[in-house]
Amino acid sequence: MSQPVVVDTVVALRAQIRDWRLHGLSVAMVPTMGALHDGHISLVRAALSTADRCIVSIFVNPAQFAPTEDLDKYPRQMARDLDRLAEAGAHLAFTPTVSEMYPTGFATKISVGGPSAGLESDFRPTFFQGVATVVAKLFLQALPDRAIFGEKDYQQLCVVRKLCRDLDLPVDIVGAPTVRDGHGLAMSSRNAYLGAAELGVARQLNVILRQAAAALAAGTDESSVTAKAAAALLEAGFDRVDYVAARESLTLAPWRRASDGRLLAAAWLGRTRLIDNVEVSSFIP
């Protein structure tokens, strides 16, 4: 087991990639904010299955946190992350500082329309601007052949795809299935905030979403299904529900029964916000 090469500047990143390209090697990238869990590692393995070299970026991006959010408390565990990347076989870890990514005088922001509208944006209005800006920078810094994103952050995946299409960024975006624990809870770095009792509640999120998706696929009225799902989450012990909503899979436009879709939800347990989504099959009466 060898440790990945670790670089923290764009110059060093590009030098390593330049060497790989001279040897005809393809490159895949996995953008992360660290605190790596099995879901991240599954993305690394997906990257390694499609490219000769795998880069993992570890950067807690301040641009996607609102002033009231958990930037300072977000888990950081670089040594453990590098060990996990070594075990997974990643070739390079890009670990830039905030000043490397956003040097003094940085003033550019990227806003992506379409799939960014609603859902997360209703509650985190600057989130996708921060995501789009940092992802565009990472792609231009590394110019990977493809990048792997987890479907757990489904709206983010759609926004990144739209970003690349609209700006002609030559990066193939690959969505990887959500990795869950033995009880169905989607892996997330923020799960570390949850105590044992809260984990028991959190594990009901996916159960309730799957029941709601089955009801939608069977033809039950959408507004009734989403309202009942939100009520069920509160009854299960969640403190607040931001949304439960059905959307078309590709565009995140309002779901139509003749199209495949996603049922997405965000809910709070104490100070921890959890998101998840499940597929909704098309329904043709």
Q: Is 33 known to sit in a ligand binding site?
A: yes
> Same domain, yes or no, for 98 and 25?
yes
Residue with the two structure tokens 């959307």: 247
Is residue 75 pLDDT above 90, yes or no? no
Q: Is 23 known to sit in a ligand binding site?
A: no
Whole-number pLDDT of residue 70: 87
**Torsion region of 270: left, alpha or beta (phi above 0 gives left; psi -120 to 50 gives alpha):** left
Indicate the Cα dihedral angle 59, 114, 224, 202, nearest 10°: 0
- 40 has catalytic annotation: yes
Residues above pLDDT 70, as percent of the chain: 98
> Same domain, yes or no, for 58 and 145?
yes
Q: Do the domain assignments include residue 285?
A: no
Is residue 259 pLDDT above 90, yes or no? no
**Cβ neighbours of residue 115 under 8 Å, at least 6 residues apart?**
155, 158, 159, 161, 162, 251, 252
Q: For 203-249, what is each residue's pLDDT tens digit? A: 999 999 999 999 999 999 999 999 999 999 999 999 999 999 999 99
> Same domain, yes or no, for 274 and 234?
yes
Residue 132 belongs to domain spanning: 5-176
Q: Is 188 known to sit in a ligand binding site?
A: yes
> Same domain, yes or no, for 212 and 166?
no
Q: Is 113 known to sit in a ligand binding site?
A: no
Whole-number pLDDT of residue 283: 53
- Going by their DSSP bridges, the two strands 261-269 and 146-150 should be labelled as unpaired
How many independent structural domains does the chain possess? 2
> Same domain, yes or no, for 194 and 172?
no
Q: What is the pTM of this model?
A: 0.96
Instruction: Specify the CATH number for the domain of residue 256.
Output: 3.30.1300.10
> Same domain, yes or no, for 151 and 196?
no
Annotated active-site residue in 23, 40, 91, 183: 40
Q: Which of 128, 150, 176 is the last residue of a domain?
A: 176
Is residue 168 pLDDT above 60, yes or no? yes
Whole-number pLDDT of residue 282: 66
> Same domain, yes or no, for 79 and 131?
yes
Whole-number pLDDT of residue 131: 98
- pLDDT band at residue 200, thresholds of 50, 70 and 90? very high
